[in-house]
């Protein structure tokens, strides 16, 4: 999953230029996805670059089973 801190996709909406936009649409999320993965019995991996993501995806496919890979952008 791509973690951009919450709501970055909404920057592409016409409402983006409104003063209320940040409050209503860009609410930052502070979720510990490692903890969330453990809650659901998933293996968790954190990556910080697209190259690391590519390597981790290859490893995850080889390992099999459900996994959560977090790429932090923000």
| Model confidence pLDDT, tens digit, residues 5-50 | 776 777 777 777 777 776 666 667 788 999 999 999 999 999 998 8
**Whole-number pLDDT of residue 74:** 63
**Whole-number pLDDT of residue 17:** 76
Domain boundaries, given as residue ranges, for the chain: 2-72
The verdict on pTM exceeding 0.85 is: no
* DSSP-based three-state secondary structure for 70: strand
The Cα–Cα gap between 36 and 32 comes to 6
Name the H helices within the chain: 21-25, 33-39, 50-63
Q: Taking residues 53-73, report their average pLDDT.
A: 93
């Amino acid at each position: 999953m791509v973690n951009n801190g919450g709501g970055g996709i909404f920057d592409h909406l016409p409402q983006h230029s409104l003063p209320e936009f940040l409050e209503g649409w860009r609410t930052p999320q502070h979720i510990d996805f490692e903890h969330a993965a453990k809650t659901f019995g998933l293996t968790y991996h954190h990556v910080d670059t697209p190259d690391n993501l590519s390597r981790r995806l290859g490893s995850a496919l080889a390992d099999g089973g459900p996994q959560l890979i977090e790429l932090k952008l923000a």
